[in-house]
Amino acid sequence: MAKRTDNFGKFVSQKKNSAIKEEIRQEKKKEKKMRQEAIEKRFAEKRQQKFGNAPQGADDRFGKNSPKPSARPAAAGGNKIVEKKSSPATGGAKASVNKAEKSAFAKASTDKAEPTMPLNKFIAHAGICSRRDAATLVKEGKISVNGTVITEPGFKVSTNDLVKANGKKLTPSRNFVYILLNKPKDYITTTDDPQGRHTVLELIRHATNERVYPIGRLDRNTSGVLLLTNDGELAQKLSHPKHEVKKVYHVVLNKDLTKKDFDKILEGVKLEDGLAQVDALAYTDTKDKTQVGLEIHSGRNRIVRRIFEHLQYDVKGLDRVMYAGLTKKNVQRGKWRLLSEKEIRILKFMNKSYT
């Protein structure tokens, strides 16, 4: 074939493009065939090591010349791949895969495919409490898995496991419910009370058949916005300090809040469990300095009351008017409503402008 020389003195082929493409295809085909043969050889060696002197054709699943499963020979001394029906004379010993093995393999495959989750998350999805409270239950030895008490919150479980809390079976729920309650006074934020006091669950008993619990707590004499749900993951997110969920309170004091104490609160009040800081503070009525509005993100127990009590004020009234962007607008005291889809999305994605 004629050849020409370029400016650099190298020979350049004048083959047609179609011929070059065909050569490339043939080369790729050849390489693919070589790889396949290498793979087949590797599997053949592994089967030889596993089955000893069994004829290669008896378990040559990848070889081109291996017979179909129904036609494989039953060579003496070899491991059979196809299970045969046992006869009274020989029993089931000749079958290489017995029913017990198949059953165990099926169970192992199922268990492997079933997704797992930490035990405290499983409990939260069952609508018992938040993940943080669930971790406490586990550490206290109140949770058992398949009959064994587990004390590690991160222990992995699946929906196939039998999980019990104080002897009662738990079942995770995927039907999540989100309820906003305008809590009145004299109701406690627990699921039950040994002393027989009123609980917030009494107020929402017609809202859902799902077992829900409150996120965070409002003490008995505090009213206002309270969120209840069975979504343990959201409860964990809203309760975790790193998200700094904002709360706004309306506070009524027994006397005027002085300018000096007003400034002290803004600077931070040192309590027995550390410094208490607020994000914003204002008089709700310039003519009545016994009433103030306070914004805070701390979730410490009774933090608002303790700030004012530390400065020698008695809190006559405490109402939470906002929580994580949710307000009690159009919800009368003691009433509830379901959150909208938009509100749920905002909570789950923790939009900074709403928290």
Q: What angle do CA 242, 244, 247 make, to 5 degrees?
A: 155
* Dihedral angle sign, alpha carbons of residues 154, 158, 161, 165: positive
DSSP 277-342: --SEEEEEETTEEEEEEEEE----TTHHHHHHHHTT--EEEEEEEEETTEE-TT--TT-EEEPPHH
10, with CB counted inside 10 A (0-12, 13-18, 19+), is: exposed
Residue in the block written with tokens 């506070």: 251
d(C-alpha 305, C-alpha 218), whole Å: 11
d(C-alpha 77, C-alpha 59), whole Å: 13
- CB proximity list for 98: less than 8 A, separation 6 or greater: 83, 92
Residue type for position 173: S
Residue 56's CB: how many other CB atoms inside 10 A?
13
- 219 an active-site residue? yes
**Residue 148's beta-bridge partner residues?**
145
CB 211 within 8 A of CB 177: no
Catalytic-role residue among 219, 273, 288, 314 = 219
d(C-alpha 347, C-alpha 319), whole Å: 21
Do strands 315-323 and 222-229 pair parallel, antiparallel, or not at all (unpaired)?
A: parallel
Cα separation of the two ends of the chain: 78
Residue in the block written with tokens 């800081």: 277
Residues that are catalytic = 219
